[in-house]
A and B are shown apart, each in its own frame.
Chain A
Amino acid sequence: MTTRAAAETLDALRTVVARIEADASGALGAEERIVLGVPEMDAALGGGLRRGALHAVSGASAAGAVAATGFAVALAVKAGRRGRTAVWIRQDMSGRETGEPWPMGLAELGFDPDRLVVVRAPDEAATLRAAEAALACPALAVTLIEPFGRLAAFDRVAVRRLALAAGRSGVPAIVVRAGAPSLAAPVGFSAAETRWRVAPAASPPGEEDWGRPRFHVELVRNRRGGLGRWTLGWDGHERSFAVAARNAGSLNPGAEDHGGRLAEPARRTGAAAGAGGGLRRAG
């Protein structure tokens, strides 16, 4: 009973804080949601991914680097708006280490290469600068930011500035860390609205036409909502996610889960819709 009351108080406070933050960022689009189309996920996110905010996606392992790109691209497709341009800023090292984003593959995921501007930034500082410039432009559909390395330049202040810029322009910022997954998430990313860890998922056994995009996705941080873990498939033709498996294993080998955590957002759908409340809150 007390837990419930506490949770309600917390939710109320969160709503207030959210309103203050939205006012501070001064944008109407900041509160707009990108509906992902997976009810459990949308519920955990309080109705969808917040548009005017910064979201960080990283690989859970070395093999997760590309899975992280795939998930980020899927989010970007979801965030896309008809006729609008997306900007993808990637650091040179990231292109060398994990390959260049390739328009052919992007097109097959439902991302229109004709509406893409890629900025090849030589280093971290340039990546940050270009990201700030891009996020100040409200005419974009989405900004993908792909730095590489330790991300010393992406400190708390810098990431907060990016998040505020996203709030002002209403353009979602998706930071992809394709390379260097062994490093812990830099402290700066506490300003991110959500943080995701992604690992590749094997194609279902016995499937003839295997090889569709599939990922284990873990929402490890959510500033105003629940967390969760899903195994998702992405259909580039329909531009939609599908929950491929409901009882996904943990992304961390050895930390096998009890299943409750995964089902949780689904159970809470009724109670939490709108308020975006969740029991777990990381960071």
Chain B
Amino acid sequence: MRRRERAAGSDAPDDRPLVIVERQGATLRIVAVDAAAEAAGARPGLPLTEARAIRPDLRVVPADAAADHALLTAVADWCDRYTPLVALDPPYGLLLDVAGCAHFFGGEAAMAQDVAEALARQGLTARVTVAGGAGVARALAWFTAGGVATPEEERARLSALPVAALGPAEAVRVGLARAGLTTLGQLAARGRGELAARFGSGLVAALDQALGRVDPPISPRRPAPARMIERRFPDPVLTQDAVVAACRALAGALAGRLEAAGEGVTRVEAAFFRADGKVSRISVATGRPTRDPEMLLRLLRERLDALADPIDPGFGFDLVRLSALAVEPLAPEAVSLDPGAAEEGAVAELVDRLAARHGRRRVLRFLAGDVHRPEGEVRARPAQAMSAGGGRSAARAANWPAPSLAEPPRRPLRLFADPEPIEVLAEVPDGPPIRFLWRRVAHAVARAEGPERIALEWWRRDPGALTRDYFRVEDAEGARFWLYRDGLYVREAEHPRWFLHGLFG
């Protein structure tokens, strides 16, 4: 696909011939032209000064690779409406795997025409080719007029292509010209061994791809969803009610398909395709597989409500799609007589809703870790990734400290993610504190217990990490603190610093 994007993009009233230039060495050279400039005699590769000599009133725009890439990505997004398998072919190409999709659009030719026309409406010039392989399609799109060809025509066209279609390196190109090989047909007539010996194996590989002898799979930008269901609107829908109604219908249809397949979904994406090309996507995850359309709809609405900037329908959506990105087997629903299972289901649904609104990383469950450092003793995990109860729970429970009859709590109720520095007065340098100053308030220590020495595990010793001596202290008012001295006195630090790490209830 070839595009001269900015021709129509910015200022339409200005119909002077447009060229896009890039600095190459000391000269500004044209890298792209629009139709008017082409008619005037400008072509890519020409120095700008020469072009100006032909047409002094050229409109000149500097090339912007980042903007080009952004545009290509946006067009790729939009192309998702034809097939879920869209790959970028930078700098200016897109590859769509339309196997099994074309009949939805009235066949390959109609589909190609639809793509070209729709892109033209967005102000983009595109050359569209449908062919049996990605390499063939790429070669034909760049070096012929495009379109759809029968296999025989396709072979004929390929043979006539110039060797430049293989994108050879400069040395190879010169070599080919010297050998009098100008078309792919001539190349194909030579033996592979001969070509490889003379021009390198890269050329043979490129030739194989261009002729469709090998067809490596394209690498789509997004993984193909397990199931997907969509609805097109001849007249774009604008109102939220209509969008929600469409989502409801899609969720119901998706649920039917999932049920038939004995599957439940754990990740769903809704994509809203705007008539003018913009695509918005939202996705929600569930902790356990589900196919309840009402629940999916609730999660999607929750997510929509939480968006910082709501989806703007612009002139309306002409396609809404629901994709099941991840599915798991799910047995047919059975009415459970176990109230515990129903409760767990309700909690899982609550977790899903909270995660949809506040974000997966903000709804957490905890695992007891096996790391000595207090910060590592507990690991927080997205609650959706962990279910309560079940077999794992019993194994995990063993890792939490059991409340002791004989001893007071050894670990604080609240822990600071970043230990807070305090000023400490101690009787002896490696003894417990007598007084300390935290957040500008002085606390007189009435009781102290310690030290409890906590060092990094020897196998992850990091020279910067010091041994910590933890003290449990109670001040005169009865408030209890967890303090530590960072580093062993003299042995690790001349003047160890003190920190407050936690508070006891």
Residues of A within 8 A of B (CB): 61-63, 65-67, 69-71, 73, 83-85, 87, 95-96, 98-110, 112-122, 126, 129-130, 133-134, 137-140, 178, 199-203, 209-215, 234-239
Give the residue name and chain of the A residue nearest to B479 (CB).
A63
Which of A107, A118, A121 is in CB contact (< 8 Å) with B401?
A: A107
Main DSSP-derived SS at the A contact region: mixed
The CA of A75 and the CA of B266, in the complex, are separated in Å by 36
Which residues of the partner chain A approach B401 to less than 8 Å between Cβ atoms?
104, 107-108
Given known A107-B400, A120-B364, contact A100–B415 (CB-CB < 8 A): yes
Give the residue name and chain of the A residue nearest to B397 (CB).
A114
Which residues of the partner chain B approach A87 to less than 8 Å between Cβ atoms?
350
Which residues of the partner chain B approach A237 to less than 8 Å between Cβ atoms?
402-405
Asked whether B411 lies within 8 Å of A200 as measured between CB atoms, the reply is: no
The CA of A261 and the CA of B356, in the complex, are separated in Å by 49
Which of B347, B400, B414, B447 is in CB contact (< 8 Å) with A137?
A: B347
Asked whether A203 lies within 8 Å of B447 as measured between CB atoms, the reply is: yes
> A-facing mask of B434-464, CB < 8 A → 1, else 0?
0000000100001101000000000000000
Which of B393, B405, B414, B479 is in CB contact (< 8 Å) with A69?
A: B414
Asked whether A99 lies within 8 Å of B383 as measured between CB atoms, the reply is: no
Asked whether A102 lies within 8 Å of B364 as measured between CB atoms, the reply is: no
Which residues of the partner chain B approach A133 to less than 8 Å between Cβ atoms?
350, 353-354, 357
Within 8 A of A (CB), among B326-350: 340, 342-344, 346-347, 349-350
For this complex, 5 residue pairs linking A to B, each with C-beta atoms less than 8 Å apart, are: A99-B417, A107-B402, A119-B362, A139-B350, A178-B414
Within the complex, the shortest CB–CB distance from B236 to chain A, in Å, comes to 32
The CA of A71 and the CA of B388, in the complex, are separated in Å by 25
Asked whether B479 lies within 8 Å of A67 as measured between CB atoms, the reply is: yes
> A-facing mask of B346-371, CB < 8 A → 1, else 0?
11011101100110001111101000
Which of A73, A108, A202 is in CB contact (< 8 Å) with B474?
A: A202
Asked whether A73 lies within 8 Å of B414 as measured between CB atoms, the reply is: no
Which residues of the partner chain A approach B380 to less than 8 Å between Cβ atoms?
118
Asked whether A102 lies within 8 Å of B411 as measured between CB atoms, the reply is: yes
The CA of A224 and the CA of B478, in the complex, are separated in Å by 32
Given known A117-B363, A212-B408, A213-B409, contact A103–B368 (CB-CB < 8 A): yes
Which of B354, B393, B408 is in CB contact (< 8 Å) with A134?
A: B354
Extra inter-chain contacts (12) besides given A62-B441, A105-B415, A133-B357, CB under 8 Å:
A66-B504, A66-B505, A70-B413, A99-B415, A99-B417, A102-B414, A104-B412, A105-B413, A110-B403, A130-B357, A137-B350, A199-B477
Which residues of the partner chain B approach A134 to less than 8 Å between Cβ atoms?
350, 354
Asked whether A98 lies within 8 Å of B474 as measured between CB atoms, the reply is: no
Asked whether B413 lies within 8 Å of A73 as measured between CB atoms, the reply is: yes
Which residues of the partner chain B approach A67 to less than 8 Å between Cβ atoms?
479, 505
Among B447, B449, B477: residue with most chain A CB under 10 A: B477
Cβ-based interface call for B472 (8 A): yes
Among A63, A84, A203, A239: residue with most chain B CB under 10 A: A63
The CA of A67 and the CA of B416, in the complex, are separated in Å by 16
Among A61, A107, A234: residue with most chain B CB under 10 A: A107
Cβ-based interface call for B191 (8 A): no
Give the residue name and chain of the A residue nearest to B408 (CB).
A211
Asked whether B362 lies within 8 Å of A105 as measured between CB atoms, the reply is: no
Within the complex, the shortest CB–CB distance from B202 to chain A, in Å, comes to 53
Asked whether A201 lies within 8 Å of B478 as measured between CB atoms, the reply is: yes
Within 8 A of A (CB), among B379-412: 380, 383, 388-389, 393, 396-397, 400-412
The CA of A210 and the CA of B480, in the complex, are separated in Å by 10
Cβ-based interface call for B492 (8 A): no
Asked whether B409 lies within 8 Å of A236 as measured between CB atoms, the reply is: yes
Within the complex, the shortest CB–CB distance from A135 to chain B, in Å, comes to 10
Give the residue name and chain of the A residue nearest to B361 (CB).
A120
Asked whether B413 lies within 8 Å of A101 as measured between CB atoms, the reply is: yes
Cβ-based interface call for B50 (8 A): no
Q: 8 shortest A-B CB distances, which residue pairs?
A: A70-B505, A99-B414, A236-B403, A202-B478, A211-B408, A139-B346, A108-B409, A105-B413
